A = this chain, B = another copy of it.
Amino acid sequence: MQDTKRHAYAHARPALAVDCVVFGFDEDQLRVLLIQRDLPPFAGGWALPGGFVRIDETLDEAARRELHEETGVDRVYLEQLYTFGGVDRDPRERVVSVAYYALVKLSSHQVAAATDARDAAWFALDDLPPLAFDHADIIETAHRRLQGKLRYEPIGFELLPRKFALSQLQRLYEVVLEQPLDKRNFRKKVLSMDILDELDEVQKDVAHRAARLYRFDERRYRRAKKAGQEFQL
């Protein structure tokens, strides 16, 4: 409840920001998109893209706007993660931050778009630079959330090219979940979900037998989900 009495007082208000943990998948590494700060505090240090919430935009809008402004990234899977409200997160003043995580297809042109705007760069999740504020905590929380989500919802496709081989998908799962998976069981499981289109196309420019390509069929997925189907592992 927002109490009208206390509304009358002009209490000091925490500032409200959004921060985005942008995940990308690069062959066999999970990466995070960071930007380099040019001003104190943490000048020269790396931080998550983000910024203050404007008075006339929703939180989701703020997250997408900042993401676009600071990294050029656009039209991605985006979901609210957690709100970080530690009193001393920011040394200047009280800032509460609503954290989001995003999944992008590194294969698209987005890498280029990302790297020209400001000083943005992809870092391997297991080899991050020192981070500003509590952004290391936020990334850790995002990683755990991604692991949990991936186990029971097929969002892995958001990190792959539109057309992909099953082995790519498996590598993605192995990297994110940090555990090896059995090839035959994995294929059996994924194909049995019946949400992939088998294409009449195979990989190009590989130095070995080319793998068949598949495409995620979002329509079928939605229908199956509505019908109560599960998508574990």
Which residues in A have some Cβ–Cβ distance to B below 8 Å? 1-7, 11-17, 19, 35, 37, 39-41, 47-60, 62, 70, 80, 82-83, 85-87, 90, 92-98, 132-133
Whether A70 contacts B1 by the Cβ 8 Å rule is yes
Asked if A85 contacts B60 (CB within 8 A), the reply is: yes
5 A-B pairs, CB-CB below 8 angstroms?
Answer: A1-B133, A2-B17, A5-B39, A11-B55, A83-B83
CB contacts (< 8 Å) of A41 on chain B: these are 4
Known: A1-B19, A4-B92. 9 other contacts (CB 8 A): A2-B52, A2-B92, A2-B95, A2-B97, A13-B15, A14-B53, A56-B94, A62-B85, A80-B82
The answer to whether B6 touches A51, judged by C-beta atoms less than 8 angstroms apart, is yes
Query: What is the chain B residue whose CB lies nearest that of A35?
Result: B1
Known: A13-B13, A96-B16. A51 touches B83 (CB 8 A): no
How many copies, total? 2
B-chain residues with CB within 8 Å of residue A17 when the two chains form the complex: 2
Residue among B6, B55, B60 making CB contact with A94, cutoff 8 Å: B55
Contacts of A83 in B (CB 8 A): 59, 80, 83, 98
**Contact partners of A82 in chain B: CB under 8 A:** 80
CB distance from A43 to the nearest CB of B (A): 9
> In whole angstroms, what is the CA distance A142 to B57 when docked?
24
Residue pair A96, B12 in contact (C-beta under 8 Å) = no
Chain B residue at minimum C-beta to C-beta distance from A62: B85
B4 touches A47 (CB 8 A): no
Which residues does chain B contribute within 8 Å of A16, judged by CB atoms? Answer: 13-14, 16, 96
Contact of A2 among B1, B5, B55, B90 (CB under 8 A): B90
* Docked-complex contact B70 and A14, CB < 8 angstroms: no
Q: What's the least CB distance linking A13 to chain B, in Å?
A: 5
